[in-house]
Amino acid sequence: MICRQGLVNMTTKSTKKYLILVLALLTSVMSLGLVQNSIAAETGEQVFQKKCAGCHTIGGGKLVGPDLAGVTSRREEGWLFRQIQQPDTLIAEKDPIALQLLQEYNMPMVPLGLEDSEVAAVISYLKSIEQEATVAAGLPSQYIPTLIVSIVFLIGLTLIGLRVGRKKVDVR
């Protein structure tokens, strides 16, 4: 009986260590993604203010170019990337959206010579602005990750409880 009880205690300890490790890893991975997204959004905001704000607003109405509020919901990311980096190429390829924008604003977007990383940062910034607007209107942005961590934590506690609950009672 002592041997079996020792085995149960050893298994419970290793299970606890494993679950703690998994929870710590999951939390750190989720935090790392959030930090990287916020850094990209901050860089994107700086690039936007320096290169884009002269012609575009985000929720402030039309200027020389269109208002970019909600643009990442309306357009695919690949198209946005090309439009920001090579707007003249899209017009030359007769892209229907680029041609519609040209007709509406009577002026083509000027190629700004942005690096891939700068374009990606601007798109990240535009997405973050939309997420902030969504948070105000709906669920908090951390709702799903918090829910996932909570479920994993509860499953872990349940497994530990089931392991510990397997103790045998000596009947005399």
Of the candidates 32, 28, 64, 68, the residue with the CA atom closest to the CA atom of residue 48: 68
Q: What is the pLDDT of residues 57-84, one digit of tens each?
A: 888 888 888 988 889 888 899 999 999 9
69 falls within a domain: yes
100 within some domain = yes
Counting the structural domains of the chain, the total is 1
Please enumerate in sequence order all residues whose Cβ is within 8 A of that of 117, keeping only pairs 6 or more positions apart, or say none.
none
Residue 150 maps to a domain:
no
**Which domain covers residue 61, as residue numbers?**
39-138
* Band of residue 143 on the pLDDT scale cut at 50, 70, 90: confident
Q: Is pLDDT at 39 greater than 80 in this prediction?
A: no
Q: Residue 48, exposed/middle/buried by CB under 10 A (0-12, 13-18, 19+)?
A: buried
pLDDT of residue 30: 60
What is the rounded average pLDDT of the residues 135-144?
61
Is 78 inside a domain boundary? yes
Residue 91 within any structural domain of the chain? yes
Nearest to 160, CA basis, from 22, 28, 3: 22
> Tokens at residue 146, please?
């918090």
Give the tens place of pLDDT for each residue, 86-137.
999 999 999 999 999 999 999 899 888 899 999 999 998 998 887 665 444 4
Residue 7 has pLDDT above 80, yes or no: no
What is the pTM for the complete model shown?
0.56
pLDDT score of 45: 87
Closest CA to 1 of 164, 170, 162: 170
- The C-alpha torsion from 64 through 70 and 76 to 79, rounded to 10°, is 10
- CATH classification of the domain holding 63: 1.10.760.10
Higher pLDDT, residue 144 or 13: 144
In a domain, 168, yes or no: no
* Average pLDDT of every residue of the chain: 78
The better pLDDT of the pair 121, 2 is held by: 121
Question: Residue 3: inside a domain, yes or no?
Answer: no
Identify whether 82 is part of a domain: yes
Q: Is the pLDDT of residue 8 over 50?
A: no
